[in-house]
Amino acid sequence: MGLLIILPLAALAAWSILAIFRWLRRGQFGGRWWRAFILLACAGLGLGVWFAFFLEYTVANKRLDGFPIPVAIANREKPADPWVKSVLPGPIRFGGTVTNLLCGVALALAPLAAAAFFKENRGQRDAQGRPRV
């Protein structure tokens, strides 16, 4: 059941990474843009590793490991009680880890996509908002 959420989110993150790559290739962007793409993708991979393996957050009496897909869940009855870890099935943990990595890369590439959008569409209209010919 968890794969119904994991697979679309992973597909969306992978598609966005590939779409930004194709956009830069199609738009004939220069070497500075490609260096920025590589740099941000590496930073995003680091962010994805942190999302997948190191990030822990607590919600009420639950501790979740991983973001945006939790790969481990721990519960406790009272704040003084120890954490009791629930083991998720292997495909859910693996899919969640891959999705967390992809989401980190996609999140880091979002500013580059916004900048490419503004660069590509700058100057397309005159001061009154009419298209230039």
* DSSP E strand boundaries for 11-125: 56-59, 62-65, 72-75, 84-86
Peptide bond preceding 68 in cis form (omega within 30 of 0)? yes
Q: Cα(33)–Cα(31) distance, rounded to whole angstroms?
A: 5
Tens of pLDDT along 86-124? 888 999 999 999 999 999 999 999 999 999 998 887 766
Other Cβ atoms closer than 10 A to 122: 8
28: left (phi over 0), alpha (psi -120 to 50) or beta: left
Tens of pLDDT along 14-69? 999 999 999 999 877 889 999 999 999 999 999 999 999 999 999 988 999 999 99
